[in-house]
Amino acid sequence: MKEIDDLTIPDLRFAQDHEWAKLEDGGVRVGISDYAQDQLGDVVYVELPQVGETFEQGAVFGAVESVKAVSELYMPVGGRILAVNEKLEKAPELVNADPYGDGWMIVVEPADLRQLDALMNSAQYLAVLKG
């Protein structure tokens, strides 16, 4: 397994399905972890929802297609989609190159901020990855 550096980003929360969530200005930015993108391999397509759509926590909101597989994306917190990363339409490889930066996927207006508390912090996520 590749070196896991998620501990360097302490303000991220992680879902069991490897999505990350970061509270920013009342919205929650979402993407997939460095570990997840590494396991997928080269990302060739990202399917994202429309702005304004609403999803429950744990619901499928999109998919990532790589040279190895297609993986569904799950909402780490429920809410309404405020923004999608349109750069991924033409440059899906940003998910591989910068999963916690330019490779973000959506911004959600959370229905309940307490759902963030149910997600793992970086140390807990690292412990899950190490088994």
Q: pTM score, two decimals?
A: 0.93
Write out the two tokens for 52.
């304004």
Contact 36, 15 (CB under 8 A): no
How many domains does the chain contain in total? 1
**Per-residue pLDDT reduced to its tens digit, 32-48:** 999 999 999 999 999 99
**Per-residue pLDDT reduced to its tens digit, 65-96:** 999 999 999 999 999 999 999 999 999 999 99
CATH of the domain at 16: 2.40.50.100
Q: Is residue 1 part of a domain?
A: no
Domain, as residue range, for 118? 6-130
**Per-residue pLDDT reduced to its tens digit, 4-60:** 554 567 789 999 999 999 999 989 999 999 999 999 999 999 999 999 999 999 999
Q: Is residue 59 part of a domain?
A: yes
Confidence band, pLDDT 50/70/90 cuts, at residue 1: very low
Q: Is 107 exposed, middle or buried (0-12, 13-18, 19+ CB in 10 A)?
A: buried
Contact 63, 47 (CB under 8 A): yes
